[in-house]
Structure 1
Amino acid sequence: MKRRPQEHQEHVRDEGVEDEVEEEEEVDDEVDAELMDEDVKEERAGGHQAVVPGVVYISYIPPRMRVKHVRHFLSVFGEMGRVFLQPEGESDILGLHYNEGFLILIKKGERRVGLGNVFLPTGKWRRGGGYLHRFHWCHLTERLTYERMVHRQRFRQEISQAKRETNFFAANVDHSKAIARAANKQRKEGGTVLEKTWTFKQKSTEDENLAKAREKINRIEEKTKSSRKLLTQIFGKPAV
């Protein structure tokens, strides 16, 4: 008999909670109905468009700033997705600097203005960042994949070139050692060693070019003299 007031209170509380839940459900139903009406209006106006995440470009990253810092400072502009920062040159992990960055802005926040001017440098000639129209994250990944492929291919070419030069140098060294051993063997046997010599054609000097031109002129004059002498012998001297 003493527990009946408690049971009555619990029953009253349950009824109050049920009333609150029913009121919340009614509010949710009203909100859903309003959203459905808005969706119907949008569909009638021109169709419902899905929200596409936008890519934002940042032209300058302050020194010592990492991805977590960029995400922390730019989270006030909206919900962010992936963040990519381009390293500036090759350096150690502690002294790594970034020169530019890309990030995905999934949903805009209250502060929609000035996102591209957050990390603008002072006193440097670099343009500010901003929203990239019709630019998707797949375009950035394709570009990075292409750059990595080009870098690997160039690295392979450099390695193959270094291997060819090393092999050529080693082959020449072995060949010269074999020639030296053969020459020493011939000397010990008392034979004559014929050393190979190389002759290289050098470019003629200006005096040599002038001498060749004079010789050519002299040859032409001698030919003309001989032809005139032959003509005088055949036809006689011309009348003066």
Structure 2
Amino acid sequence: MKNKKTMEVAVKEENAENEPNGSESKLKDKKKRLLKEAEKADKRGVCYLSRIPPHMDHVKLRHILSQFGDIQRIFLAPEDSSAPVSTKRSRGARDQAYSEGWVEFKNKRLAKRVANMLNGEQIGGKKRSSFYYDLWNIKYLSKFKWDDLTEELALKKAIREQKIALELSAAKRERDLYLSKVDKSRALNAIEERLKKVLYPVQILLNTILKVAFGENFMY
């Protein structure tokens, strides 16, 4: 009887050793979820909007395009702060202006169909809306994934930061050059003032000597 219990305990311990622990099980579950998400992402399609009408935002865009199919994600790029003032005014003082956008649909076929159907067509909707008469500028991006967008945005950000750094460096060089010219001008003015102070008594003395020698009417 004792040997039988000992064997049962040994079998249980062996089974426990063969079973994966809690952390390994969670890791496997996480990998499975990531693989499923990656598979879903491969099936999705992305459309590019080269122009965002005034007063259009994420909520309004999703509301309009959701009528044609399921939308996953939307990204609208804020308009550059260096854009012309006239463009900013046309969008209104309170609204955030956007220059371009990307829309991710549930599948590629849907994204392609929506782009082909809407591109060049009037946006429409309520006549009171400010973009009622605007036209869609939408294109389906073949073999384009949302991850490509994040990489592109990161690259644009790096380029923009580099451009700003170069502009700041150029501005500092111009400032230093200006300050050096100002310092030189001040130095020359100071030298001129010192020379005047030194030469003025000499000139008076010379005029006095010449007047004594040649008469009061003589001027040097």
Q: Identify the TM-score tier after normalising by the shorter chain.
A: 0.5 to 0.7
Aligned residues: 142
CA deviation after TM superposition for structure 1 residue 158, in Å: 1.2
TM-score by length of 1: 0.48
CA deviation after TM superposition for structure 1 residue 114, in Å: 3.7
TM-score by length of 2: 0.52
Deviations 1:34-57 (A, max 9, x none): xxxxxxxxxxxxxxx944222122
Coordinate RMSD, CA, aligned: 3.5
CA deviation after TM superposition for structure 1 residue 61, in Å: 3.2
Larger RCO, structure (CA 8 Å, separation 6 or more): 2
Q: Does residue 56 in structure 1 map to residue 65 in structure 2?
A: no
Calculate percent identity across the aligned residue pairs. 30
Q: 1:179 to 1:149 in 2, by over 3 A?
A: same
Question: Which secondary structure state, in structure 2, belongs to the residue aligned with residue 78 of structure 1?
Answer: coil
Q: Does residue 136 in structure 1 map to residue 127 in structure 2?
A: no
Q: Which has the larger radius of gyration?
A: 1
Contact 2:46 2:105 in 1 (8 A): yes
2:71 equivalent in structure 1:
80
Structure 1 runs, 4 residues or longer, greater than 6 Å off: 108-112
1:182 equivalent in structure 2:
191
Q: 1:181 to 1:135 in 2, by over 3 A?
A: same
CA deviation after TM superposition for structure 1 residue 83, in Å: 0.3
Aligned runs of 1:75-114 on 2, under 5 Å? 75-90=66-81, 91=88, 94-107=94-107, 113-114=113-114
Contact 1:77 1:109 in 2 (8 A): no
Question: For the residues of structure 2 that align with 1:58 and 1:103, how far apart are their CA atoms?
Answer: 8
Contact 1:59 1:120 in 2 (8 A): no
CA deviation after TM superposition for structure 1 residue 110, in Å: 8.8
Contact 1:81 1:104 in 2 (8 A): yes
CA deviation after TM superposition for structure 1 residue 109, in Å: 9.9
Q: 1:129 to 1:116 in 2, by over 3 A?
A: farther
Show structure 1 runs of 5+ residues with no match: 1-48, 193-240
CA deviation after TM superposition for structure 1 residue 136, in Å: 0.6
Deviations 1:177-217 (A, max 9, x none): 1222122222322289xxxxxxxxxxxxxxxxxxxxxxxxx
Equivalent in 128, 152, 167 of residue 158 of structure 1: 167
CA deviation after TM superposition for structure 1 residue 121, in Å: 5.3
Contact 1:55 1:137 in 2 (8 A): yes
